[in-house]
Amino acid sequence: MKQFKLSTSLFLLGILLLFPTISAVAQGIIPKPHTVVYRDGQFKIDNETRLYSNLSRKNLKTIRYWLGEVTSAPLKKTRTRNGNQIIRLIQTGKPNEMNTVPFNRYLQGYTLDVSERGIEILSPSKAGLQYGLQTLRNLTAADGTVRYVHIEDTPRFAYRGMMLDCSRHIWTTDFIKKQIDMLVRLKMNRLHLHLTDEAGWRIETKHYPELTEKAAYRTTSNWEQWRATGMNYCTKDTPGAYGGYYTKQELRDIVRYAAERGVTVIPELEIPGHNNEVTSTYPQLSCTGERASDLCIGNEKSFEFIEGVLKEIMDIFPSEYIHLGGDEASGKNWLTCERCQKRMNDEHLQSKEQLQAYMMKRVNAFLNRHGRKMIGWDEITTGGTPDGAAVMAWRGADMGFKAAKDSKVIMSPTECYYLDYFQCNPATDERGQLGYTPLKSAYKFDPIPIDYQNKPEAKNIWGVQGNLWTERVDTEERAEYMIYPRLFAVAEAGWSSPAQDYNDFKTRALGLIARMKRDGYAPYDLQNELGDRNESTSAVVHDAIGKPVTYLSPCSPRYAGTGNGTLVDGKMGDWSFKDNGWQGFIQAGRLSIVIDLQKEMDINNVSADFLQFRGPEIFFPAEVTVAVSTDGQNFEEIDKQTFKDDSTRYFVRPYTWQGKAKGRYVKVTTRAPKQGGFIFCDEVMVNRRG
């Protein structure tokens, strides 16, 4: 047996020595192909290599662009498929199938074969041929050699996308095209452009020109400063003005560039909320006649506006689906608006959610009459999902599975696929936002986990999407830093089998990052990743572990951790307050608990870690009080500490008491600072050791 192992090891070593550069290049294949069978031997692309393809001259133009990244020089075309020094790119699909390619994952698949006969890529579609070329690019060494291999590859989902927020910060058309190129390399096929929001209107419109004159520019590029100083808009000639918009021709150029590469551009017109820029320009479209976030649903002029803008959008964007937003509308003004109340009465609507659903259904019907369909954020399910609408699930996978009972769903949960979240220790990076999503967390998300794979809902999971919101992303370098490599994980989830081996994925990601840098991209430095919070990687030992906890003030249902045992489970939280290791408290009294140690004992220390993250209004306590009791009724205070408000944006700090006390019950209470907000704690420790 030892002799067999030695022989096998020597054989494998020989293979690696024979193909050292090829093995290194193959490390960067993302997404991972489904079936890969290597064979002995290698093919070399050289000056004698010819190209055979049955594609039209127009379609072959873009294919040659990608082929040029594989070959050192343009290949001459041959009319014969026969021969040994030929790269064959053959489209096998029928012409009447091509319009359905974006919606049919099987038409996006390909077969790649490298042998002594040359290289052959077969696919029903041009898009599939492009994807096959991306795999070939990853397999080809610098000297043009490719190991003999047979690959059969089909995406897991038909929809694999990225959203770019162009409202908070506007991006050049060249930058957008650069990201489209990377989408193709990652075998992704949708680019969702968030073009309208309170931070700036970004679409040229002939019917409503004042939007680009008065609401496309703002008084400062810093989004937070702009919000803090009144959210004022200005004209482009105002000193210090920041912003702009895309002309119709620029948008058509982006659409054309993307379409040539098999990428569908989906525009978003945000309704009925997030419309400060609209009502600032046309205040008659709000309920109050003044600037407000929500459009007035009782006002027919609101529908005239929406339909007028959509006609212009549909003239630019040929995508079957148009994104209509639908998220985070407060609806507060609708409840006191006479026109909205009349609308509710006339349409027999019982709530503001149903009123919003009325608008979404009506606009969806308008799109349908023009041969289009709508996508909306998952709030569109609350009052009744419009017929045929696709749902983009951002408030968690559970929202997606709930919607998938009746609708197509694109999984885009905040905790995994929001690319504006921190990807390293938030204390070291002031520009991240809200949550902590390292590459590992994005990779481990499965859009259809095992529990759902055999349920009817599974067939309605249309795909996945990563979203880059740009409140704190104001440069192209910063945008790419936030997008990559986490978009790799989205691409892998959209194409490959469910996540299995993070170490293998990370190795491939490092290889792709190296090539991206050579190509002029600025991805996050994964090689020097700081990783998880050290305290969260190992258990703590103390006398309260597993003991009963009574909550005198309940934690928020949104931030309940793993339940009532979260604060005494011996596990510390990670950097993210959304991590199940933390509990959040917002009700009066904030954190206020009693731990039953189940027997009287000497107590020499009590400690707890608290998190501060000023963005989502999580603050370190202003006061922490500890008391002990022998009977659970009469408590003796043993410590009270007060803390001054600290303006630091993010930190995790401990509260600690040391001394001598005796008791069975330990009460820990906190007081919020004057600004209120949440208090977050991950563990309350009694007699911590080590």
Q: Give ∠ CA 468-472-475 in degrees, rounded to 5.
A: 80
Catalytic residue set: 197, 274, 328
Residue 129 CA neighbour count, 13 Å, CB half: 29
Angle at the Cα of 508 from the Cα atoms of 506 and 514, rounded to 5 degrees:
100
Asked if 678 contacts 617 with a C-beta cutoff of 8 angstroms, the reply is yes
Give the full edge-to-edge strand order of the sheet including 233-234: 233-234, 217-218, 242-243
Instruction: Supply the DSSP string of 160-187, one letter for each residue.
Output: EEEEEE-SSS---HHHHHHHHHHHHHTT
Q: CA geometry: angle at 418 spanning 399 and 389, to 5°? A: 40
Nearest to 207 by CA among 130, 123, 278: 278
Q: β-strands 118-123, 86-91: how paired?
A: parallel
Choose among 270, 267, 389: nearest CA to 327. 270
Q: Are strands 583-585 and 196-197 parallel, antiparallel or unpaired?
A: unpaired
3-state secondary structure 51-112: EEECCCHHHHHHHHHHHCCCCCCCCEECCCCCCCCEEEEEECCCHHHHHHHHHCHHHHCEEE
Q: Which two tokens stand for residue 310?
A: 């959509």
> Can you give 120-133 as a three-state secondary structure string?
EEEECCHHHHHHHH
Tell me the C-alpha to C-alpha distance, in Å, between residue 179 and each of 185, 335, 662. Answer: 10, 43, 63
Q: How far is CA 305 from the centre of its chain?
A: 30
Name the one residue in this structure whose structure tokens are 């934690």: 555
Residue ranges in 496-634 assigned as alpha helix (H): 502-518
Q: How long, in residues, is the chain?
A: 690
Residue 521 corresponds to which tokens in the numbers above? 């991209």
Q: How many CB atoms lie within 10 A of CB 547?
A: 18
Give the residue ranges of DSSP H helices in 216-371.
Answer: 223-228, 248-260, 276-281, 300-316, 338-346, 352-369
Nearest Cα to Cα of residue 640 among 656, 624, 618, 660: 624
Q: Hey, is 476 helix, strand or coil?
A: helix
For residue 485, say if its preceding peptide bond is cis, omega within 30 degrees of 0.
yes
18 touches 40 (CB < 8 A): no
DSSP state of 33: P
194-233: b (≥16 Cβ within 10 Å) or e: bbbbbbbbbbbbeebeebbebbbbbbbbebeebeeeebeb
